[in-house]
Amino acid sequence: MKIACFFCGTTSSSHCSRLENVPRRKLNYKGAFFEEMDVDAIIARTPQVALVDELAHTNVEGSKHRKRYDDVLELLNANIDVLSTVNVQHIESLTPLVQQITGVPVRETVPDWVIQRVNEIVLVDLTPEALQTRMRRG
C-alpha cells in the first residue's frame, strides 16, 4: 500500500519514519518562513492513503487553501483516503461547550459538515485536566 505522510509536529512525524514523508511547502509570510502541507505534491505521488495532522489548522496566507480541512477535501476528491487528527474542542458545534467547561478560547474549528463526511472516528482520550493544561498552553 502506498502511503503519504504529512505531520506538523516533530513528535507526530517520528511515527511516520518508515513511511514516505512529503516535503512541506515553504512560504514567506510577513518576513517569516512557514511550512505547510503541499497538496499538489501529495496528489502527484498518487498514494492510496495520506496521513494528515491537525485537521483544524489554519494555513498561512499564500497556501492553496485557507484551512487544512480544505486540503483534505481536495485529497479525498483525488480518490486518496485520509487519516487525520482533530481535537474535540475544534469540532464547531462542541466549541462553545468546551470553552464553557475549560474557560479556554478555541480559535480554530472544523465545521460539523466536514466531520459528518468521516467514515470512522477513533476516540483517543485524555483526562480533563490534561486537556485543560494542553489548551492553556496553546
Residue with more model confidence, 3 or 47: 47
| Predicted pLDDT of residue 70 | 98
The answer, yes or no, to whether residue 7 has pLDDT greater than 90, is: no
| Predicted pLDDT of residue 16 | 64
Domain boundaries, the chain: 1-85, 89-138
Instruction: Give the mean pLDDT of 86-101.
Output: 93
Domain boundaries 1-85, corresponding CATH code: 3.40.50.300
Q: What pLDDT band is residue 3 in, cutting at 50, 70 and 90?
A: low
Query: Each residue of 26-68: pLDDT tens digit?
Result: 999 999 999 999 999 999 999 999 999 999 999 999 999 999 9
| Predicted pLDDT of residue 124 | 80
Residue 55, exposed/middle/buried by CB under 10 A (0-12, 13-18, 19+)? buried
| Predicted pLDDT of residue 5 | 62
| Predicted pLDDT of residue 9 | 53
Q: Yes or no: say if 102 and 71 are a contact pair by the CB < 8 Å rule.
A: no
| Predicted pLDDT of residue 121 | 86
Q: What pLDDT band is residue 13 in, cutting at 50, 70 and 90?
A: low
> Alpha-carbon distance 52 to 69, whole Å?
10
DSSP code of 24?
A: P
> Alpha-carbon distance 95 to 135, whole Å?
12
Which residues, including other chains, have CB under 8 Å from residue 66's CB and lie 6 or more apart?
58, 59
Q: What pLDDT band is residue 126 in, cutting at 50, 70 and 90?
A: confident
| Predicted pLDDT of residue 56 | 96
